[in-house]
Structure 1
Amino acid sequence: MPRPADSAGAQPAPVLRTVRGTRSIRAAVAGAVVAAGLVFSGCAGPPAPVPDPAPTLPAGVTVELAQLRADVGPRQAQVRVTNGSDTAIAVGEVRVEDPRLAGPATRVVADRTSTIPAGGSVDIRVQLPPVACPAADEGEGTVALEIVSDSRTAEATASAPDALGFLERLHARECLMERVMDAATLSFTGFEPSPPGQPAALALTVTPTGRGAVTVVGVEGTNLLSFAGVPPEEDLYSLDLDIAAAKADPIVLELPLAPFRCDPHAVLEDKRGTIFDVRVRLDGEPGEFELFVGEEMRARILTWVGDWCRFGS
């Protein structure tokens, strides 16, 4: 049953904000582009001409966007660079721009250069910025790669195909979440482990803002966790919590958590086991978005699953 949250306990999740930012190309890059075409002389024979930098990728080099399961929680993605040319290439800065994003996605590890051998491919992880709601336009996203050589550096830009469509789904979910958070903030604010055979308690705090109305229909189980008393074929812990367009005290809902499976590799290889789908009804339309418990609580939950399942005993 819902109960009022203690004033010191409920910490509502922050509302997503859109922040636009730009990233300037280093002065060395601009200088190298201006100086393109210069010939560098050497001591042992005639110098070889340096080709002008091209606005496109080298022949045979392709890029695409992807998101692995491990990328979902930290809101990251991969720029997969495939080198189909006959020579190795080196890639420095990476920048993904898309009208559905409020700014560029850039390398998670800055100032790194990735060398891609001929015939090889590399996944370069980028940090996704907040989404833009609504999207700026319907244009296609692009990837800019800094191609590095011994003598110069140049930026090449190409389209950014997303074969699996993860970015479209991410944009839809997070824009829905922004609309929901205008009416009420939702966050997981507590976890109480339990002995084997008994459900643990996962606290979901719902804090009305007074600016809108929403119905929290329920929370779905994950590939690792389920809810006590919910048949496996249903996979939804029903809440049917109506939030009116009026300011109200925070509400804490205790969800009875139980492991969905007890094979050790499910914990050791966990990627999405603590990311829950929350179903809502907003303006009469159904929808859902993802809600992560956070890294600290994730570690506690995975430890509890191991104890509950008696791994190693």
Structure 2
Amino acid sequence: MPTTFLDFEKPIADLEGAIMELRHRGNGEGVDIAEEVSRLQAKVERQLKATYAKLTPWQRVQVARHPERPHAVKYIETLITEFTPLAGDRAYAEDAAIVGGLGRFRGRPCVVIGQEKGDDTESRIKHNFGMVKPEGYRKAQRLMKLADRFALPVITFVDTAGAYPGVDAEARGQAEAIARSIEVCLELGVPLVSLVIGEGGSGGAVALAAANRVLMMEHAVYSVITPEGCASILWRSAENVQDAAEAMRLTSDDLKKLGVCDVVVGEPLGGAHRDPDAAVKAAADAIETELASLDGMDAAALRQHRRDKFLAMGQKGL
């Protein structure tokens, strides 16, 4: 049960609060409450199904940003064995917004890279809320080139509202670092599979997602700008954020139809934050399937595959 409920989840929060109160009272008085708890839990499940079956794009954004949603470190710790983290860009500094290194995914040696937002105040500050600086993208480039040198597949976990927009980042070449990361992705002679696990924001996300196969968790979003940013530009008002989210076609369903996303990975009922282990397991199965589909392709074929994929984007209509 999550500890944080979104605005549209209030009826669910009320029911789960009633279950907790009932359990507390029952445990204290020695009363058998199993039947009533079971009835309320069934009601919670029905409410979850009804609510999540008709989420608006803006509500999907809220789910993608849920603070208890599993982040990159959770995926790496669960899926990657013998993980050896690598740090620094060998030019300026270490950027904790990018977590990456060498390991094994279900026995297969690989390089893994993820954007990490953090789970509490301390870790969010440490990881800069997943907003990567130029040195982070240059670290990602270094790791991808390492993978290319040793013929290792690359797995990336995308989760950022966007690249860090600070003056210091711009002074150190933020735009060039992002562009170069995209170039490195496209030039890799090894399989590259990317999974958008939460927010896929702007070039900050594409820098790790110019992949052979782009996967999205069911309630993840992927867009050129945040809905808030879009609303402030087009409507000059934050009040139109829901209109912006609707117009942007940023949900996994829409992006699959448009050919931007290749695979949508189903999440547990109520979102990945309700059962992180199940969500990560589903993601692992999907990644394994996509990596297997790329086996046997040589470097030239993998590069051409990516080229054809991105040139074809935008040719499908909703």
Per the shorter chain, which TM-score range?
A: under 0.3
TM-score normalised by length of structure 2? 0.21
Structure with more of its chain in strand, by fraction: 1
Structure with more of its chain in helix, by fraction: 2
